[in-house]
Amino acid sequence: MAEIIVVTSGKGGVGKTTSSASLACGLAKAGKKTAVIDFDVGLRNLDLIMGCERRVVYDFVNVVNGEANLKQALIKDKRFENLFVLAASQTRDKDALTKEGVEKVLKDLADEGFDFIVCDSPAGIEKGAFLAMYFADRAVVVVNPEVSSVRDSDRILGLLASKTRKAENGERVQEHLLLTRYSPRRVEAGDMLSIADVQEILGLDVVGVVPESPEVLQSSNAGVPVILDEASPAGQAYTDAVARILGEERPMRFTTVEKKGFFSKMFGG
């Protein structure tokens, strides 16, 4: 039975697609057969971050409309045998997706033996975002530690609790908080909300804290999800988040300011 994970947020630009790509890669690396779907019809960025933009022939909307079958549209990742990408359409509008069409695609993926289906949601509360979360078993809510991002994510939590298939059946979508662009130094200076602040406002367990890191942008531009950069703190943080999603307990790293030792202070290290 495939587990459907929606990666969502109330605000744009917080790192949803970066997170979707890294989480999908991490799950595949852990041996799970994984599909990642771009629900952002009209914009389409997931294929760029996954490095497969030149291989898109058929997209999600083509499959929903019956213009192509799932096997024609799924792009097999070159790095992992068990990872597949379903790109969004750049030429259709948000209304091109239907609940029935999305449900059929997800069912067909489950029938193909996928362990995880990661749904990369557009920002906000329009139709694409609603459809991305409607069938979810769990949600990774991506938040930057700033007031506007946290407030907008609070609205998303309200929708997850009331507008999903699980909610209609009297169940709850399992929710996780993923903090991105976290800077312990700025938290210490009072310029950024702390992990505890965000947790208190949203009432969610933290599945990962991704530090502010230049490698995130560099990796995205290179079409390589940052989780594959094992030397990068951001890559390591996403690896930890995937492990926690799979039930492993790991200490939360990159959450405190590194104190310089005596010799570092002396010699400017």
List pLDDT tens digits, range 69-88: 999 999 999 999 999 999 99
List, edge to edge, every strand of the sheet that includes 116-120: 75-76, 83-86, 34-38, 116-120, 3-8, 138-143, 174-182, 206-211
Backbone angles phi, psi at 17, to 5 degrees: -70, -40
Q: In the structure encoding, which two tokens stand for residue 37, read together?
A: 């779907």
Any binding-site annotation on 34? no
pLDDT at position 250 is 96
Distance CA 236, CA 153 (A): 25
Q: Is the pLDDT of residue 160 over 80?
A: yes
Q: How many CB atoms lie within 10 A of CB 215?
A: 17
pLDDT at position 95 is 77
Long-range contact pairs involving 199-206 (C-beta distance under 8 Å, separation at least 24): 201/150, 201/154, 202/141, 202/143, 202/150, 202/153, 202/154, 202/157, 202/177, 204/141, 204/157, 204/175, 204/176, 204/177, 205/175, 205/176, 205/177, 206/176, 206/177, 206/178, 206/179, 206/252
pLDDT band at 258 (very low <50, low <70, confident <90, very high): confident
Residues in the chain: 269
Any binding-site annotation on 124? no
Q: What predicted TM-score, i.e. pTM, was given to this entire model?
A: 0.94
pLDDT at position 93 is 75
Q: How many CB atoms lie within 10 A of CB 213?
A: 22
DSSP 187: H
Distances (CA, A) of 24 to 81, 107, 153, 266: 13, 18, 22, 43
Distance CA 236, CA 234 (A): 5
Helix and strand counts by DSSP (H, E) for the chain:
13, 8
Distance CA 36, CA 105 (A): 12
Distance CA 172, CA 176 (A): 12
CATH, domain range 3-246: 3.40.50.300
Residue with tokens 């990774």: 140
Any binding-site annotation on 14? yes
pLDDT at position 186 is 95
Q: Is the pLDDT of residue 269 over 60?
A: no
Tell me the percentage of the chain whose pLDDT exceeds 70: 96
Any binding-site annotation on 29? no
Q: Is the pLDDT of residue 228 over 90?
A: yes
Residue with tokens 């300011």: 257
User: What is the arithmetic mean of pLDDT over 136-154?
Assistant: 95
Any binding-site annotation on 10? no
